[in-house]
Structure 1
């Protein structure tokens, strides 16, 4: 199995930088309060100086959404939505220790982070434009079909695991209490993305090792020259 972005995605968004972390051995019980507080404090300090919409990381994704034909404030990238909620409520709801950690890291870096249960992915996973035949399952269990040309995460079975790129993940491969094997993907397009995505990826890998008895772990930074991550 592998994860990659289609060649036309790299062509149309040459500023894209993607970081990937693969891990096995995740469990439902992990003491994450201190880790969440650490990254939340970073996000709070950044939001004290600027709103989420003023951050370069978010502005870059807004430009990308505009180029995809979406209204940026109608469909927000995942990190913008998290930051927006965090700014208003000063916290995020707890879902699962791994999701909570990834959300906190996403807040601190203002970079979208997606987490996928590998056991629910059929074959290879690719970020590409939809043909219109793919199926997307919502968290409530309803089935949708992404529009033709929409950027999605899709596996070999035609199952879309995210719609509008970093806007909306599917319930099909969401992390659950039984999840043990995960694929974590971070993507950015702002000026310092190469350095920031490397730092984010390294931080996540370190946190996984510190909080779980991870039996297998690997990570990579994807580029047009090295666009594929085998997992």
Structure 2
């Protein structure tokens, strides 16, 4: 079974898009080596400074490119690409604290390469995960919420047979498939919407695979999805 399928509407909206996908099996996500992962995040923050060199935050290419992309579909007010949220923290002088090894690794990769990156627990998935355009009303309970916040009609979402997994690409994560210390199998996705981002995403997925295999005793299978 393919871990991720891209619906045709996404290619019509973003013909240059490219999605680097890593299916990871046999993860040991129980590590308590917080010092290592804090150092990993701190180094990534240093490397990410080049993506926010312009004093006007919104004028930095990584930020402006994704903001333009988000104008092409319906979204909740305030929705931003996950990489913008990370870079915003960096621009404000804030640090990142370890969450769990797999999340820490993909956050560090996202910052180092200036690309959105996310991950889902394969064992909690209801069939194949898709990236497509919401019909509206797809069930979605975000992290930290006790209430359902359904997807909007026309919103770009990751979804499975049960409902939405992430809204507005990977802006907002669902509790249902979130990565935890008990996660053993996962699908990781790095998003790119133009050629420059795609080049960074290719390097990013290679580094991601290397880290999850060496640090989490896992095996990873990488594939790329792009318009035919």
Same fold (TM over 0.5): yes
Does the Cα contact within 8 Å between 1:111 and 1:186 map onto a contact in 2?
yes
Pairing of 1:100-111 with structure 2 (within 5 A): 100-111=104-115
Per the TM alignment, residue 19 of structure 1 is displaced from its structure 2 partner at its CA by: 0.6
Does the Cα contact within 8 Å between 1:25 and 1:180 map onto a contact in 2?
yes
Cα displacement string for residues 163-212 of structure 1 (whole angstroms, at most 9, x for unaligned residues): 12232111111111211111110101134122111101101001112211
Q: For the residues of structure 1 that align with 2:55 and 2:216, how far apart are their CA atoms?
A: 34
Does the Cα contact within 8 Å between 1:57 and 1:189 map onto a contact in 2?
no
Q: For the residues of structure 2 that align with 1:107 and 1:148, how far apart are their CA atoms?
A: 31
Q: For the residues of structure 1 that align with 2:43 and 2:19, how far apart are their CA atoms?
A: 24
Does the Cα contact within 8 Å between 1:56 and 1:190 map onto a contact in 2?
no
CA RMSD of aligned residues (A): 2.0
Change (3 A) 1:46 1:224: closer
Pairing of 1:102-181 with structure 2 (within 5 A): 102-139=106-143, 140-157=145-162, 159-181=163-185
Q: For the residues of structure 2 that align with 1:58 and 1:133, how far apart are their CA atoms?
A: 29
Per the TM alignment, residue 217 of structure 1 is displaced from its structure 2 partner at its CA by: 1.3
Q: For the residues of structure 1 that align with 2:135 and 2:54, how far apart are their CA atoms?
A: 42
Change (3 A) 1:48 1:148: closer
Give the paired residue count.
Answer: 222
Per the alignment, residue 28 of structure 1 pairs with 30
Per the alignment, residue 220 of structure 1 pairs with 223
The yes-or-no answer on 1:9 pairing with 2:10 is yes
Q: For the residues of structure 2 that align with 1:203 and 1:90, how far apart are their CA atoms?
A: 24
Q: For the residues of structure 2 that align with 1:47 and 1:91, how far apart are their CA atoms?
A: 15
Q: For the residues of structure 2 that align with 1:133 and 1:147, how far apart are their CA atoms?
A: 6
Instruction: Compute the TM-score of the two structures, normalised by the length of structure 2.
Output: 0.89
Per the TM alignment, residue 44 of structure 1 is displaced from its structure 2 partner at its CA by: 3.0
The one of 209, 214, 217 equivalent to 1:210 is 214
Q: For the residues of structure 2 that align with 1:208 and 1:51, how far apart are their CA atoms?
A: 35
Does the Cα contact within 8 Å between 2:16 and 2:194 map onto a contact in 1?
yes
- Gap regions ≥5 residues in structure 1: 226-231
Secondary structure of 1:184's counterpart equals strand
Instruction: Compute the TM-score of the two structures, normalised by the length of structure 1.
Output: 0.88
More strand by percentage: 1
Secondary structure of 2:222's counterpart equals strand
